[in-house]
Structure 1
């Protein structure tokens, strides 16, 4: 057998990558080298240090819409998640339903971001007119950098940058904002005496209802490769999907066996087994077609895409 081909990937520090990082899951053809990154790369085009990366689903779609063909999207979603849990309010807020956000001031950590787009879709499902909400984009906490989070979508009086470059959580604490959308919870969120809570305290019930209605867990990040590496190794996308699936299966098996790492992880396994189909996290176009199509439709309705796009436009 010849020497394996080195494939360099930039991925978030997901726990299920551990078997790949430790060499417990390997490919006979490819030597997959993973660099763990805290911030997603903007694109793989022109990235000489990597052959592929975990990228924003929304960002990839928007580049495809602009005619960019310098990336090869693989329909394997490295990050999925329900978004009901991602709406934060103050402990003393009278808000308790998604519909209560109508006409409010809401902060987002990035306007076109995949997760925030899915969260806004929840508002639309509950009849909230996004045009009647006052939106502010900014950093989540003071520890996060001040960067452009409008991405060209700003509109005075409707979507603006957070005032004075203040963090969203400080604006929420002061009462300027009524709610904040965030993919990751701020440090100390669950501490005793925290000033913040989830809009929906029993968010799991709402998420399970949503899953029964739509049939999927929304995808936020996907694997994107350089077209050049794919042209030289056409079997690479399928091999990487297989490796990632094997790594996740092994990691979950260990989590099930060594369940005492957290007190109630077995309850999560039981809830998933009772409510989600076994293939809920599988990669591939067909099994994810409804989710992908719904996301494309949302991006168009929310004016993030100027024109409608089909699943085949994203994964030809």
Structure 2
């Protein structure tokens, strides 16, 4: 465990405080070190009305299992599934700290003849987790392309052998065409065990000129652009949650945290547009992103994410991950 650059409580002593029973609200959140949170971590953007300690984690924390946490980054699917099961110990904020298109998340061997989603009918596909938010969105792409998910031979396992610390199964039993392995998916793909693998993160080898792997879709960016034009959103993967007891102590906390992270995101984007030489073609990418999505491709707020939330809830039920249909308005209910 490590802290984001500084203990944020030190940075907030000059800010405005709300007092509850004579005490300053002091909360602890754990998230991965997303770059749009850097302004909060460095103190350039400060909490208004509470003190904050922001912990950096290598993997997504299990907020409920850590008594010292008030909240943190949470899988969208696991949060929604909890709500569907009547578990309201977490209060979800419509603050999606991780979101992204999933067309890029299907990999095949470089010498594979597969180049389209519909060509995965009846295929052998490895994936890094069954109920995962990202993989749920990726399977949704296959369903939309007419692929019967029950006709695929699925294998759930680590991207690289030896990876630990991740729940790959979830609360709902696997369908009959899904199995588990401890073997690495990348080696299975390279060796012909799988026709394709589904992963939210690229293996290190992918960034080398002699990589054995490529994207299934030759122009995944065009497919993602078409997806956005059709749906109007970029899929949400992880969101921020707060423990209910923390919210009950300070009912204004959800709004204050949303405001803080929104200010951080906007500050980060402004700086990113100024310091564009961090990668060779960042300026062109930022320009194209703004012209495609407007000034905010990852908006926060329940209304701004209503269509995306409804689509995700529908997929969880359609894929048999949720035992009942979930209404979008349940997700961010107080």
Q: TM-score range by the shorter chain?
A: over 0.9
Tell me the residue number matched to 1:299. 316
Work out whether 1:97 is the aligned partner of 2:102: no
Per the alignment, residue 20 of structure 1 pairs with 40
**What is the Cα deviation at residue 199 of structure 1?**
0.7
Instruction: Please give the alpha-carbon distance, in whole angstroms, between the structure 2 residues aligned to 1:102 and 1:268.
Output: 34
Instruction: Give the C-alpha shift of residue 178 in structure 1.
Output: 0.6
Hey, what does 1:30 align to over in structure 2?
50
Contact preservation (8 Å) 2:102, 2:138: yes
C-alpha distance in 2 between matches for 1:211 and 1:278:
15
Matched, 1:173 2:190: yes
**What is the Cα deviation at residue 147 of structure 1?**
5.9
Partner of 1:86: 105
Partner of 1:8: 28
Provide the rounded CA distance (Å) in 2 between the counterparts of 1:214 and 1:255.
27
Within a 5 Å distance, the mapping from 1:101-140 to structure 2 comes to 101-140=120-159
Deviation of 1:277 after TM superposition, in Å, equals: 3.3
Matches of residues 26-65 of structure 1 in structure 2 within 5 Å?
A: 26-42=46-62, 44-65=63-84
- Aligned counterpart in structure 1 of residue 253 of structure 2, from 236, 249, 264: 236
For 2:66 and 2:290, how far apart are their aligned partners in 1?
40
Q: Deviations over 1:97-126 (max 9, x none)?
A: 111111100011000000000000000111
Cα drift, residue 143 of structure 1? 4.7
Q: In 2, are the aligned partners of 1:139 and 1:146 still within 8 Å (CA)?
A: no
1:286 has 2:306 as partner: no
In the alignment, the residues of structure 2 paired with residue 97 and residue 77 of structure 1 have an alpha-carbon distance, to the nearest angstrom, of 29
Residue 153 in 1 paired to residue 170 in 2?
no
- The answer for the alignment partner of 1:186 in structure 2 is 203
> Do residues 271 (structure 1) and 271 (structure 2) align?
no
CA contact (8 A) 1:70 1:226 kept: yes
Aligned pairs for 1:200-219 (under 5 A) are 200-219=217-236
Normalising by the residue count of structure 2, what TM-score does the alignment of the two structures yield?
0.90
Distance 2:175 2:321 in 1: 13
Provide the C-alpha distance between the structure 2 equivalents of 1:306 and 1:189, rounded to a whole number of angstroms.
Answer: 37
For residues 264-285 of structure 1, what are the alpha-carbon distances to aligned partners after superposition, in whole Å with 9 as ceiling and x for unaligned?
0111111111111334312111
SS at match of 2:304: helix
Cα pair 1:111 1:153 within 8 Å, conserved? no
- Note the C-alpha offset of 1:41: 2.1
**How many pairs were matched up?**
312
TM-score, normalization: structure 1?
0.95
Task: Give me the CA root mean square deviation.
Answer: 1.5
How far apart in 1 are the matches of 2:310 and 2:263? 27
In the alignment, what sits opposite 1:259? 276
Structure 2: distance between partners of 1:109 and 1:274: 33
Asked if the contact 2:48/2:256 (under 8 Å) is kept, the reply is no
Structure 2: distance between partners of 1:314 and 1:65: 9
Contact 1:72 1:225 in 2 (8 A): yes
Q: Is the 8 A contact 1:108 1:136 kept in 2?
A: yes
- State the Cα deviation string for residues 26-51 of structure 1 (Å, max 9, x = none): 02311121101111123x33531110
2:129/2:169 contact within 8 Å kept: yes
For the 8 Å contact 2:155–2:180, the answer to whether it is kept is yes
Structure 2: any 5+ residue segments left out of the alignment?
A: 1-16
- The whole-number CA distance in structure 1 between the counterparts of 2:30 and 2:292 is 32
